[in-house]
Structure 1
Amino acid sequence: MKAMIDGGLKLAQSAALASTSLIGRSMHSLRPTNIVVHRAPPPSPSYKGLELDYENGKKFYFSAEFLRLQSPSADSMRTTATGKRKIVSGRRHVQILGIEPVGNYGIRVKYDDTHDTGIYTWNYLYELGSKKFYYMRTYIQALREEGLSRNPRTTVTRRKQGSDF
């Protein structure tokens, strides 16, 4: 597998990323053949997206926001007492700080909002790519229903009348 990165972030070539035997290949047929991480505009040292190429010709681009929303970590997959999935909002501008291989089966993505516990398996990334527009439409609809936004909250400090500061 090749790992190409805009601006220098390297996903280490290791046994986890090396090509597998024919037996292993059938188990991991959804492993990407190429990963490209796209840099955010300067002066940011972070990354804004991830592109995966597959042997079957499929190519998926994921924004950092989309990957963060779909994080398979336990804290992102929490549900409320009524069984409704917790909605992560305000992540439109989140960026990727780093990516590291995890065993033979996936990657861990570190974000600038300090989230770094989700392990994205090759199968999960392929599923996300195949259903990306469905997942994003569902997410936007859920935000609207809850009165939330993709944009981060902005706090407005209001002065009390008669305040000196």
Structure 2
Amino acid sequence: MADDAGWPTELRLSPDGRTLTISWGDGARHTIPAELLRVESPSAEVQGHSPDQKTIVPGKRNVTIRDVREVGTYAVRLVFDDGHDTGIYTWSALRDFGERGDEMFADYVAALGDLGLTR
């Protein structure tokens, strides 16, 4: 992994698979819950091919990450214990999860509530 500010210098999966901690070249550090990474996966399965096709994924409160696989030098593929493994998380997407994670999670919980679904 590159050592400049826009690229991670370390990715660390917690022993229980419930969080991914990313250290960045500029000194920033983010710990992102597996649940958020799963329900906001950049995969077409979750995001669709346009904003109106996005799927709200319920029931992932206890999901864990089983594996982190590098994709070239620009991304990782996360393998979740529910079998989901099609999202490719670029460094910029992971940075966005780290910086806007609270907002993203609040939007997700609100969308679940609107649909009568639970985490």
- Normalised TM-score (structure 2): 0.91
Higher strand share: 2
Larger C-alpha radius of gyration, 1 or 2?
Answer: 1
1:127 positional shift: 1.0
SS at the partner of 1:124? helix
Corresponding position of 1:31: 7
* Coordinate RMSD, CA, aligned: 1.7
Residues 49-101 of structure 1, C-alpha deviations (whole Å, 9 max, x = no match): 10001122211101111110111011011279xx3632011000111111110
Structure 1 residue runs without a partner (length 5+): 1-16, 41-46, 151-165
Higher helix share: 2
1:64 aligns with one of 8, 12, 34: 34
Structure 2 residue runs without a partner (length 5+): none
SS at the partner of 2:68? strand
Listed as ranges, the matches of 1:1-165 within 5 Å are 17=1, 19=2, 25=4, 29-40=5-16, 47-78=17-48, 83=52, 85-150=54-119
- Matched-pair identity in %: 34
Q: May I ask how many residue pairs the two structures share in their alignment?
A: 118
- Normalised TM-score (structure 1): 0.67
Q: Is the 1:108–1:120 contact (alpha carbons within 8 Å) kept by the matching residues of 2?
A: yes
Runs of 4+ aligned structure 1 residues displaced above 3 Å come to: none
Q: Is the 1:65–1:94 contact (alpha carbons within 8 Å) kept by the matching residues of 2?
A: yes
